[in-house]
Structure 1
Amino acid sequence: MNNDEAPPHEQNKMVSPPTTTSLSLPNDILLSFLSRVSRLYYPTFSLVSKSFRSLIASPELYQTRSFLHRTESCLYVCLRSLTDSNLRWFTLCRVPDRKLTNFSGPINDAPSSRVSFLDCRVLDGKIYVAGGCEDCDSLNCIEVFDPNTQSWESVASHGRCERLAYKSVGIEGKFHLLGGASHVAYNYREGRWDSMGTEMDMGRAWVSYCVIKNILLYYHERDREFKWYDYKGRFWRKLMGLERLVKFLCYSRVNLADYGGKMAVLWDTFVPGSGSKNKMIWCAEVSLGSHEVYDICGEIEWFDVVLRVSKSYELVHVIAATV
């Protein structure tokens, strides 16, 4: 043995393990990384550390995703318990399968979610909000918010209280009010109100509706069918292609949303054999296409049960947002 070499058992003692340094990446690098990852994986990343969880909930992440053109359409669903009036918000997760995931954990354990939304329409980069005025004789029940100036302004009314309007939609660059005595639309380019007649108005039948690529669609509970509005003929047409889907029961609550250019349909039914004790929340994704005969036809891409809850829960809101 060479005198300069130590025995094997002494060599192990002499060799020191390599030192490791805990390196934390700057937030801007983490934001750039997270913005390139689908939001479907954010719940998992939020478990990595507090810093990850903080970045995922930060407005800077949305700004980075917008700058890199990596935004996605996300579907949010609100359920309300009839026993305690609590609101619980869910998001549709597609990995590993399509299920509604509660923001705070299992529905039986999660407290009511502190989430709210503003029922408004965005036109020309500005946010239009109708209703909410205390004075029913006021002619300024509509307000518009300009994100550039961070200021609110009143929009001169057409002469009746907007609290009587049950729904508002943005179609072809106009702010439409539906459900009152007549259908009117605000033309913001010319600063005037236009009367649209009564053909489009459905009164209190407006429960489930959405606008997709300037196409107004809604589900008529009495007729149990989907309809779309023909602007040229000024009448409603049945949306064909959904016969396999339309098997809703009379008690089913149906909600629609523009889900990234497709129509998301959510409804509830009782679980068979449960004695009406439990409900199933269903979701369907429908694409719209042109048809030689029907002009517009729906195509069901998928539909399935996405959540099971007790009978005390009901659908309240379905919202799709680009984030």
Structure 2
Amino acid sequence: MANSEESRPQKKRKVEVSPPFSLLSSLPDEVALNCVALTSRWDHEALSLTSKRYRSLLTSHDLYKIRSLMGRTETCVYVCLRIRPVDRWYILRRRKNLDADLIPIPSLPSRSRVASSVVVLDSEIYVIGGSKGGIPTCEVWVLDCRTHTWRIVPSMGMARANASAGVIDGKIYVLGGFISDDYSNWVEVFDPKTQTWDSLPLQKELPGRRYIHDSVVWDQKLYAVDGKEETFYYSPCQGKWGRGNRGHLVGNRRDWCMIDNLLFCISKKGSIHWYDPKDLNCPEGCEPEGMYSKEVLGLDSLKRSLSTSRLVHFDDLSVALWQKEKLRYSFPSWAPTRLIDLLPGARLTNCGPNIVLFWDVLKGNRREIWCAELSFKRLAGEIWGNIEWSNALMNVDPLVDGYELLYSASVTL
């Protein structure tokens, strides 16, 4: 009998395996937050679906402080495409095979707008002013990049489109963006702590700037560039205005951004250029001089494609402002007559130590929206670029003239 019992096949004991993250349920929030902080940002959406507790942990301000202390932060690039008649927001996702795609997120719960100013403050993107149906607005919307939710904050005192904006010492400065002879409210400053706007006048000796196509923050000053490549700045800590040096060529630079204390931009000929930001300054009492940029070397394979891009279009308000500036400054006969011929059609934004490019390519009977990431290194006084990856993000209808890249911004989370 004993032998027969021993000869019987033994039933295998069923081993229960705990589902992922279930062990965290028994841990205190402080310990659980440290565990969650180790996960990739791309896993957060799936994790948030498992329970209310995880959703709460993932939206905690403490989580992003812990990620920063652990060195686990990630830079995410957000993109707003206008696919008429609506604006759609996406986040750019890198894949392990070096491909990339666009993941849709909730879009701005408001009427489609163009010519807004976009700045990043902490983990949020501010969309300031802009034109809705050709009418400037004073509204300000904020995208919380931790939860991908939108909220509206107090409006500006002035409706603005094509304004310059930047963040200095935790406050948002917005310059220009309206046509008026009254410059008492030419600058508005938003304090997110008090949720209030204050106004600053434009200094009388500076000419009134209307059309601004670029801006950048450097050395605690907000520099703005107008349609004639003339540069001026405001210094909050000194409470004064100043004139900067002007661009070497009229209107052939766009999307100024700072990387590793160098100023990068893109030209309408499809080349990436760089400046020493010290060249922005014009000594007091001196006439502005030309800023001579240098081309980033090693990117010849991109030039032709970028030079033919028309991903950026211009709304009627932007064109009207440009026409007024052109007449006012009496541009020479050789200057381009259309705004779309003056500025590049491709767009760039900083992404940590690199640059991310967006442009469109016409291939036969289809149009593709492309993206590439560029890294840089300095050799013998020159800057060399390297294409880390490049691929098409989506196909669009080439017969529909309604695909436009409105904004792109990088956020560290």
Q: Check the 8 A contact 1:72/1:322 in 2, yes or no.
A: yes
- Distance between the aligned counterparts of 2:107 and 2:172, measured in 1? 28
Instruction: Give, as a single letter, the amino acid of the residue that structure 2 aligns with 1:37.
Output: T
Instruction: Give, as a single letter, the amino acid of the residue that structure 2 aligns with 1:186.
Output: Y
Instruction: Give, as a single letter, the amino acid of the residue that structure 2 aligns with 1:318.
Output: S
Q: Check the 8 A contact 1:45/1:52 in 2, yes or no.
A: yes
Pairing partner for 1:139 from 170, 179, 184 = 184
- Distance between the aligned counterparts of 2:66 and 2:166, measured in 1? 24
- Distance between the aligned counterparts of 1:117 and 1:147, measured in 2? 11
Is residue 2:374 matched to residue 1:286?
yes
Which residue in 1 is equivalent to 2:95? 95
How high is the TM-score relative to the length of structure 2? 0.61
Give how far 1:255 is off. Answer: 1.0
Cα displacement string for residues 19-43 of structure 1 (whole angstroms, at most 9, x for unaligned residues) = x999565544443322222213223
Which residue in 2 is equivalent to 1:70? 72
- Distance between the aligned counterparts of 2:58 and 2:394, measured in 1? 25
How high is the TM-score relative to the length of structure 1? 0.76
Is residue 2:157 matched to residue 1:157?
no
Is residue 2:247 matched to residue 1:226?
no
- Distance between the aligned counterparts of 1:290 and 1:103, measured in 2? 36
Q: Check the 8 A contact 1:99/1:307 in 2, yes or no.
A: no
- Distance between the aligned counterparts of 2:203 and 2:35, measured in 1? 49
- Distance between the aligned counterparts of 2:241 and 2:210, measured in 1? 17
SS in 2 for 1:44: helix
Which residue in 2 is equivalent to 1:56? 58
Which residue in 1 is equivalent to 2:348? 256
Equivalent pairs counted in the alignment come to: 300
Q: Check the 8 A contact 1:90/1:100 in 2, yes or no.
A: no
- Distance between the aligned counterparts of 1:202 and 1:40, measured in 2? 42
- Distance between the aligned counterparts of 2:249 and 2:258, measured in 1? 15
Give how far 1:140 is off. Answer: 3.0
Is residue 2:266 matched to residue 1:178?
no
Which residue in 1 is equivalent to 2:156? none
Q: Check the 8 A contact 1:183/1:200 in 2, yes or no.
A: no
Give how far 1:147 is off. Answer: 4.8
Instruction: Give, as a single letter, the amino acid of the residue that structure 2 aligns with 1:176.
Output: Y
Work out the percentage of aligned pairs sharing the same amino acid: 32
Pairing partner for 2:262 from 199, 215, 218 = 215
Which residue in 2 is equivalent to 1:108? none
Pairing partner for 1:266 from 344, 353, 358 = 358
Give how far 1:226 is off. Answer: 1.8
Cα displacement string for residues 218-274 of structure 1 (whole angstroms, at most 9, x for unaligned residues) = 2111x232222244583122221211222315244311111002111111213x35x
Give how far 1:211 is off. Answer: 2.2
Q: Check the 8 A contact 1:75/1:319 in 2, yes or no.
A: yes
